[in-house]
Structure 1
């Protein structure tokens, strides 16, 4: 195990003092002063000053490469990569860097904006007997560049060294799914067997690819792989898969539609705002096939993101006319109609979705949530819809939580407490129930309980709108 930069100081300091006291240097006072200053800086936790002083002392002892090396390590720890490069590359020092120090030199170049130098250093180390830290750095570098073939090579070298690193199997499998789907299968089935976190994702992706490959249509296999990656929230890899699909079949309207949606989703994720990204691909999909259900649906979603609800509704209505038995399309159209302000039409379309699939609790929940959001007919519409959702699936946390919201709207706070607790009993990770339980306790006058559950709502999913709402409530009620 290598010593930390700071822990090496006492040894360096004592050796330096012995050298000067024995008269082995013509500059004992200056060198001793720099070593003393470095020691004092370490004691104060000022690593950058310590690195500078050590490097200055090293100028008096050109044969002491360890002073430059320690100075370089400290400089990197103090976030000064330029200094690390300078100290590590002094004459007589570069050739004496250990393997780990050469890895750190690559880190310094990367932090200094010279990724090509970092890559060259790490590749050379890999060729001379790579370690997990080298392959991990190379993989991360290639992933940032979106050079997925190179990343796969580095990740598989890493896996060979660390076969017990369970998440690697799904990571490699998902990368192959987007670039070479058939090669993903052995990694995905391994992940499905050993990775408790990603087992379901891995198995679903594996099964979708295997089934699609039976049709002997590579573009279709890429489309299915990309669709499954998108379902898992990995829109970047989905985009790569859809690109392969349109490269193989430029006339594939559905692949163009998915590619447009992927680019739109990525734009939102990367910038936090909507853009025209993906519009060209969606339009191109319609040019290929004006009756593509996917192209019309995704163009509707595109205009919804841009808050152009009338245009969005036009495309969704056309999609519904092309697939009149799909309740999910009806629900999306109803959502857009509600945003456009046509609440009676939205209610009618939500109810049409229920008629198409009366045994699916989701559509009852959507109707109840619609009534709650727009504060219409809570008792007449939201309450019976929430009851039916629970009747169809009594242990669905989402349905129980919708009923808790209905109870809050009807001022029945004890029932809201009961349904929220039931939701959390069924699924302790369901963050909305924490928020609604805390709200119920606020209205019940249970201040301490309200604070406890609102705080948990903020912690359980810290990057969600639930956490943001809980934070606002805590700041307002507990200033």
Structure 2
């Protein structure tokens, strides 16, 4: 009797174990299917569905490794930073956030201008990373952060480490190091540039400008000229810092306020306060009027901008810069024929000025206006006047391309390259023309070369956008 009871109990236990194991195997299979569905949802950018599945999986099997980072990355790509915080900050507080998660948090903090938090997150990501390639990416992000926040000494330290971690970027890193060192110590930066053996053409021009700036005796004037040189090569963030130094020590320097306004606007910042300050100090200054005119043009207040350019131009009739900006403003306001007439006034006073002819051709290209009868002759004459320069050949190539003459455009681009292989714009235009061709790899190479030559310029940034759009590359 006792044995029968024990046998029955054993059978019941075996049955219970079988049921429990069966339930666990079934549940595990179901969770595995949820994992696959979640991965599919992530692939098809269905973030809500993926998150719902992750939550169910985490509730039943908390030991499962779930790709919360990829989910957060999709929200980040949509600039939905609050969702990134909601997903990753609890994991940060629990101490289970990995290096990739910290980097995603850093990018979200950058989107919301929480820069202190961004720095902390990048440093934590660096601490948790054990591979040089990823560590180099983080160091590069830190260098960018320190540059944006004007912590230039820390940025230089990061660049020095980056040169060790990523030898393939040594060339650009060395150039950036020279530029940032010049902001910290102009004499030292200039000396480094002189010793740098393989600087591109734009940097040679920059170096000449810095040399001229160092000859200025007054500190404020020197800093102003350094800022101008940075602005000339499109390094507006460094120009802004230089102009800030001037107005901090010489607050009644109207031109410095005007240039500070322009440098801020070039970076997408507001320049209203600086423009108003410059106008309050020296309302009759032609350079202040120029800066104010540029500001009001960006605000689409064309009548006010045109009035400022006209008044400045009438007082400084020997200098074409005001008439050039007047023409550009007229064109932007839709008054294209008036813009052409303004250019003709400038050309009549100096018919052999190739730069004015190129500006006219570029305005016509920008607005696709009178390409055949205005842009083409202007570009052709500029080529005759400056046959040994790359820019005229490049602009003529752009005109040919806009007119549908692709073979002629390519011929001009190649001529420009023969004259100056370091002229970044022609590489961008070659990349653009090759994107419409049959060999995308040539477009990719041209765009990468553009960034290598001039990463901070308009052309470099445009090339980066095209690489991301067509090749899913983030240089």
Report how far residue 254 of structure 1 moved: 1.4
Select between 305-314 and 252-261 the one with higher mean Cα deviation. 305-314
Report how far residue 283 of structure 1 moved: 3.2
> What is aligned with 2:250?
249
> What is aligned with 1:297?
290
Contact 2:397 2:412 in 1 (8 A): yes
1:193 to 2:186 alignment: no
- Cα deviation 1:157-197 (Å, max 9, x = unaligned): 6247437342222333333444543453355456x5356xx
Question: How far, CA to CA, are the matches of 1:335 and 1:129 in structure 2?
Answer: 50
Report how far residue 386 of structure 1 moved: 4.6
Distance 1:32 1:118, change over 3 A: farther
Contact 1:184 1:206 in 2 (8 A): no
How do residues 252-401 of structure 1 correspond to structure 2 at under 5 angstroms?
252-267=253-268, 277-337=270-330, 346-347=339-340, 349-367=342-360, 385-394=378-387, 396-401=392-397
Contact 1:367 1:382 in 2 (8 A): yes
Question: How far, CA to CA, are the matches of 1:400 and 1:319 in structure 2?
Answer: 31
- Cα deviation 1:95-151 (Å, max 9, x = unaligned): xx9xxx86456436536758756644765798999974564454344456x252464
Question: How far, CA to CA, are the matches of 1:234 and 1:424 in structure 2?
Answer: 26
Distance 1:348 1:216, change over 3 A: same
Report how far residue 231 of structure 1 moved: 2.6
Distance 1:76 1:34, change over 3 A: farther
Where do 5+ consecutive residues of structure 2 fail to align?
1-19, 43-50, 73-83, 418-425, 448-458, 470-475
Local SS of the residue matching 1:193: coil
Distance 1:423 1:457, change over 3 A: farther
> What is aligned with 1:181?
186
> What is aligned with 1:107?
103
Contact 2:227 2:242 in 1 (8 A): yes
Where do 5+ consecutive residues of structure 1 fail to align?
1-26, 59-66, 271-276, 439-449, 472-479
> What is aligned with 1:425?
414
> What is aligned with 1:139?
143
Distance 1:163 1:244, change over 3 A: farther
Report how far residue 255 of structure 1 moved: 0.9
Report the count of equivalent residues: 390
Contact 1:170 1:187 in 2 (8 A): no
Question: How far, CA to CA, are the matches of 1:338 and 1:111 in structure 2?
Answer: 38
Question: How far, CA to CA, are the matches of 2:337 and 2:120 in structure 1?
Answer: 64
Select between 170-179 and 397-406 the one with higher mean Cα deviation. 397-406
Distance 1:331 1:351, change over 3 A: same
> What is aligned with 1:15?
none
Contact 1:242 1:259 in 2 (8 A): yes
Distance 1:390 1:155, change over 3 A: same
Contact 1:212 1:224 in 2 (8 A): yes
Contact 2:106 2:118 in 1 (8 A): yes
Report how far residue 84 of structure 1 moved: 6.3
Distance 1:109 1:397, change over 3 A: closer
> What is aligned with 2:420?
none
How do residues 91-170 of structure 1 correspond to structure 2 at under 5 angstroms?
103-104=99-100, 106-107=102-103, 110=106, 119-120=119-120, 132-133=135-136, 135-143=139-147, 146-149=149-152, 151-152=154-155, 154-156=157-159, 158-159=161-162, 161-162=164-165, 164=167, 165-166=169-170, 167-170=172-175
> What is aligned with 1:172?
177
Distance 1:424 1:153, change over 3 A: closer
Local SS of the residue matching 1:247: helix
Report how far residue 339 of structure 1 moved: 5.8
Distance 1:177 1:418, change over 3 A: same
Question: How far, CA to CA, are the matches of 2:343 and 2:411 in structure 1?
Answer: 27
Distance 1:315 1:119, change over 3 A: closer
Distance 1:33 1:251, change over 3 A: farther
Distance 1:150 1:417, change over 3 A: closer
> What is aligned with 2:227?
226
Q: RMSD in angstroms over aligned alpha carbons?
A: 5.2
